Chain A
Amino acid sequence: MPHTLPTNPSAYHGLSEKEALSQQTIYGLNQRPVTKQKTWVHRFFGIMAEPMMLLLLATAIVYFFIGDKLETIILLGSIIPIALMEFFQETKTDEAVRALDKMLVQFCSVYRDGVVKKLEIKYLVPGDLVYLTAGDKVPADGCLINSPGLMIDESMLTGESIAVIKSPLEKPENPIDENKLWQGTNVVQGEGQLFVTATGAHTTYGKLGGLLEKIIKTRTPLQLKIQRLVRGVAIAAVSIAFFVGLILTWQQGWAAGLLGGLTLAMSLIPEEFPVVFSVFLIMGVWRMTKQNALVREMAMVETLGSATIICTDKTGTLTEGSMAIKSIYYKDKLIDCTDITKHKTELINFIKTTLLSLEQVAIDPIEIEAQSFAHRLGIDTEKFYREHTLIDDLPFDAKTKMVHHLWKNINGTTTQYTAGAPEFILNQSKMNTKERALATAEYEKMAEQGLRVIGVAERPDHRGDKVIVADFKFVGLLAMSDPPRAGVKEAVATCQEAGIRVIMITGDNKLTAHSIAEAIGLKHNEEILTGADLTNLSPAAWQETVKRHDIFTRVQPEQKYQIVEALQALGEVVAMTGDGVNDAPALKKASIGIAMGQKGTEVARAAAGIVLTDDNFSTIVNAVREGRRIYENLRQAFVFLFSFHLPIVGLAILPLIFKQPLIIQKVGGELFCKAQLS
């Protein structure tokens, strides 16, 4: 639903309230179509439709018709608590997930009748003009107008952790990607106005949500096994009962044959299976909740235990999702920042210059880390900024890729401080050839390691009260990286020891992905593929590719889906983690979709079977461990149940062979024995 862009963006002042209301009648509210909540009746019937519950119910009905009220009451008595436990567990989990969604209600500043107003984002309509500044979430799809440029974190949509630069619309008849902003992304630097072109289900975010509805979820391995088991047991029970009934009819007449056959069938049907199965899964869900994993589908608990591959996002799951200063290049020297006690004076001098070149109100991850690093060095940043007086500034500009601040220092001198893309800083700095070559070589080395680098420069003894973008004095380079989360290295090792392959799928570049893979000890093929390498692959080529490669970078949303599909075609049980809107189709397709509760989107959580409340990869490993424990417990329980039913079958048939009366009577020991197994 592209809305016509204004022919003269600078003269556009937004809609009037009346126009907005009329637009709302046409386009509706700016929210994802509300998915129909399951009623308690639907939920209850969903639980009762499970093969195990049907088996239990069918057995109770047969007992009822042969007149055995005690067995009927006992069986119904075991169905109701199980169904209620499942029902309340599902309801509780859904409520927790809905509570996470409610936390996302946000407001924006919108121009209505020429005045800026605070408005809940759901009331935005196409044609609205929204004021955006650092820290805002883009509330709808649209184009940037009246701005020098913005830095946007699009990781929610593309998976790329490094912010991208957006420039204002110049040709309304031909907007390019660099002018477009998407709903759900975050402004990290700069300010500007957004002309809203699409809202609600018509945004990229909304469309992906709709796509999910079309993905058909396959049954989990456990559900398939149960289906086979129930079918097998039912066929065996009916065949044996029929055979025994036939012999008894021949020996003692039709009445004895019918009753004997039915009694045996009831003895053979393992009606305690659903009880054991449901109790184990409910206990698993409860334990996983305590370990920060909200399980939305009970069968996921066991499926997790069978996972053979974990496809994981990098940013925020394997890594902290925030920048940490790794090293600085200052006065022709590279200083490692892991130990701040060494070179403390140089570090303090450099970080003070950096603080004055960046925004005082920290929103961009770089600004946040710079201030945090300053605190670690013992600098009181608030006091430090109070000692300086801001004279002028030039916000982030998409063309120059720099920010500038002109400060009056404590000693009365005036200095301009600048930070930005190293190549631009180096270009504008006065340096001798040797200094420039050294700094350029260092910058290239940092970039090769996948580090994010910014250049810092100054203009001492600045004359005048305006920023000047020329003749800088180069100060140094600041290299940052998103470090691995604590415990991830051990968790990856645990997975690999347990035979679970970990695949990293990220929107970031090859270098960054490779450096993180090395840091966390992820076993990988050195040939790292990008999204471009994956275009136009045949299904067979997809399977070969996912078999041989472990790191995929710059991956498109549909390619994530194709990776999962190819792995599943190879017979793998795939757990897929994700947070962004782009991850939702793959989350839904995967055997186990795991969404991030903290930084994840509503769409991702809706698509996943498990929601992590702490966004930590280690939690996935704990959940897999729990899943395996439950799987093993279920396996053992079923072995015991079979070892119980086999003697019953034998003891039912043997007397017939030896022409003796039946051992198994209707109220025989069966129930008695089962009580201890359950």
Chain B
Amino acid sequence: MQGTTILIVSAALYLHFAYQHNATELARTMAFGSLVVSQTFLILFTREWEQVKSNHLLLSISTITLLALTLIISLSPLRQVFHLTTLNWQQIGGMVLIPIATMFVIGKIVNRK
């Protein structure tokens, strides 16, 4: 279920930008960014908050991952290696908030199970 949901989020963002804006690199950046954000927050949301707070290694790795994503998107040489493009604030908001909200819901469902 987790994998399918991440696929839906990333694919939806990809297809939206590929068709609506006819921009392949932008679509790829959105899909790639949402994939990373989804994975990071899925790990955090499927654990109890107390567990997350006490797991310093997990918090550190999650922070490093998001920081690296920021660098890849914002630094031109890295951006070129990954065939990505720059994003405006609205696009960044979509790439971050949509996966976070979806993973929050998935986390609730998984934890209830």
Secondary structure type dominating chain B contacts:
helix
**Measured between C-beta atoms, what is the minimum distance from B15 to chain A in Å?**
7
Known interface pairs A647-B6, A668-B32, A672-B72; A661-B39 also in contact (CB < 8 Å): no
Please give me the 6 A-B residue pairs with the lowest Cβ-Cβ distance, nearest first.
Answer: A646-B3, A643-B3, A643-B2, A650-B7, A647-B7, A676-B65
A644 to B3 alpha-carbon distance, docked (Å): 6
A313 to B83 alpha-carbon distance, docked (Å): 64
A543 to B12 alpha-carbon distance, docked (Å): 56
Known interface pairs A643-B42, A647-B10; A672-B3 also in contact (CB < 8 Å): no
Interface residue? B102 (CB, 8 A)? no
- Interface readout for A647-678 with B: 1 if CB under 8 Å, 0 if not? 11011001100101101010111001101110
Known interface pairs A646-B6, A647-B3, A650-B11; A660-B32 also in contact (CB < 8 Å): no
- Interface readout for A565-580 with B: 1 if CB under 8 Å, 0 if not? 0000000000000000
**Measured between C-beta atoms, what is the minimum distance from A147 to chain B in Å?**
66
* A675 surroundings in chain B (CB, below 8 A): 61, 65
Of B2, B6, B11, which contacts A639 at CB under 8 A? B2
Spell out B's residues near A (CB within 8 Å).
2-4, 6-7, 10-11, 14-15, 18-19, 24, 27-28, 31-32, 35-36, 38-40, 42-43, 61-62, 64-65, 68-69, 72, 81-83
* A669 surroundings in chain B (CB, below 8 A): 32, 35-36, 82
* B3 surroundings in chain A (CB, below 8 A): 642-647
Q: Are A651 and B14 in contact (CB under 8 A)?
A: yes
Q: Are B40 and A658 in contact (CB under 8 A)?
A: no
* B39 surroundings in chain A (CB, below 8 A): 640, 643-644, 673, 676-677
A360 to B29 alpha-carbon distance, docked (Å): 87
Spell out A's residues near B (CB within 8 Å).
639-640, 642-648, 650-651, 654-655, 658, 660-661, 663, 665, 667-669, 672-673, 675-677
**Measured between C-beta atoms, what is the minimum distance from A68 to chain B in Å?**
12
Q: Are B15 and A654 in contact (CB under 8 A)?
A: yes
A189 to B73 alpha-carbon distance, docked (Å): 82
A475 to B57 alpha-carbon distance, docked (Å): 70
* B61 surroundings in chain A (CB, below 8 A): 675-676
Q: Are A673 and B35 in contact (CB under 8 A)?
A: yes
Known interface pairs A651-B31, A654-B15; A665-B82 also in contact (CB < 8 Å): yes
A642 to B2 alpha-carbon distance, docked (Å): 9
* B2 surroundings in chain A (CB, below 8 A): 639-640, 643
- Can you name the residue of chain A whose Cβ is closest to the Cβ of B61? A676
Q: Are B31 and A663 in contact (CB under 8 A)?
A: yes
- Can you name the residue of chain A whose Cβ is closest to the Cβ of B47? A636
* A673 surroundings in chain B (CB, below 8 A): 35-36, 39, 65
Known interface pairs A643-B2, A654-B14; A663-B43 also in contact (CB < 8 Å): no
Q: Are A654 and B11 in contact (CB under 8 A)?
A: yes
A639 to B11 alpha-carbon distance, docked (Å): 20
Besides A651-B10, A655-B14, 16 new A-B residue pairs in contact (Cβ under 8 A), listed by A number: A640-B39, A643-B3, A646-B4, A647-B35, A654-B11, A655-B18, A663-B14, A665-B28, A665-B82, A672-B36, A673-B36, A673-B39, A675-B61, A675-B65, A676-B62, A676-B65
Q: Are A663 and B7 in contact (CB under 8 A)?
A: no
* B27 surroundings in chain A (CB, below 8 A): 660, 663
* A654 surroundings in chain B (CB, below 8 A): 11, 14-15
**Measured between C-beta atoms, what is the minimum distance from B45 to chain A in Å?**
12
Q: Are A672 and B68 in contact (CB under 8 A)?
A: yes
**Measured between C-beta atoms, what is the minimum distance from A37 to chain B in Å?**
37
A660 to B21 alpha-carbon distance, docked (Å): 13
* A651 surroundings in chain B (CB, below 8 A): 7, 10-11, 14, 31, 35
* B35 surroundings in chain A (CB, below 8 A): 647-648, 651, 669, 673
